[in-house]
Amino acid sequence: MNTYYLVRHGQTEWNTQGRTQGHGNSPLTDLGVKQAENLANAIKKYPIDLIYCSDLGRAIQTAEIVGQNLGIEVKPTSKLREMGFGIWEGMKLTDIEAEYADMFAIWRNQPDKLIVPGGEMLKDIKKRQDELLEELNTKYQNKHILLVSHSVTVRVMLLSMLDSDISNIYRIKQDNTAINIVEYKDYGPVIKKINDTSHLVTGDDVNQVKSALE
């Protein structure tokens, strides 16, 4: 059975501005690069065999820093993308609250019911990440696989592994470059570590900026 290391990308410019990213793109900040470098050093103690990442720039940038450090080629896939937020992408959280108050209230209180024009629903994220894990578990056996993704996507993955409803997304916290470890057993996935940021230990490196929609 495979073991998965789920990781959120490093801090981005839009993270610091409180902007919604979704399928939009924003490069890592200097701090985000440092976080990814610290992640690369921390992940060395695990026997990583493969690295898959979201095909969005911030995840690729994070994964490549790790991949170069480990000497492993990165495999991008759209199935690890962040939730698409449609017309909200690029907007600041305060502006979304002001301009789309009713929709924002749904996101805060019934996140699984949110429908943003041009965007995705949480169930769409669950469907594509469930498909990816099924593919990987069929293709590989007894591998240690790093998956570099995004805040919402990682939380949905963890909820799915726990067989918990995706409406519980706010009950899981995911900081930039946090490490989550899930080991698949004959009886199902076992979460061994969650939101571990112990590799972020110096100065501003521990100053996390929340994703706009956390």
Could you tell me if residue 64 is inside a domain? yes
Instruction: Band the pLDDT of 77: cuts 50, 70, 90.
Output: very high
pTM here? Answer: 0.94
pLDDT in tens, 164-178: 999 999 999 999 999
What is the reported pLDDT for 211? 47
DSSP state, 158? Answer: H
Domain tally for the chain?
Answer: 1
Cα 196 to Cα 194: distance, rounded to the nearest angstrom: 6
Could you tell me if residue 201 is inside a domain? no
Could you tell me if residue 212 is inside a domain? no
Between strands 179-185 and 74-77, the pairing is: unpaired
Residue 89 a catalytic site member: no
Could you tell me if residue 208 is inside a domain? no
Query: Of the residues 9, 23, 150, 199, which is catalytic?
Result: 9
CATH of the domain at 74: 3.40.50.1240
pLDDT in tens, 7-43: 999 999 999 999 999 999 899 999 999 999 999 999 9
CA-based max dimension of the chain: 49
Residue 150 a catalytic site member: no
Could you tell me if residue 207 is inside a domain? no
Could you tell me if residue 159 is inside a domain? yes
Q: How far is CA 157 from CA 23, 41, 65, 144, 151, in A?
A: 18, 24, 23, 17, 10
- Numbered residues of the known binding site: 8-15, 58
pLDDT in tens, 106-143: 999 999 999 999 999 999 999 999 999 999 999 999 99
Which residue range forms the structural domain that includes residue 83? 3-196
The beta-strand segments (E) located in the chain are 3-8, 50-54, 74-77, 144-149, 179-185, 188-196
What is the reported pLDDT for 204? 46
* Stretch 186-214: mean pLDDT: 75
* Count of residues in the chain: 214
- Numbered residues of the known binding site for substrate: 8-15, 58
Query: Of the residues 37, 64, 82, 89, which is catalytic?
Result: 82
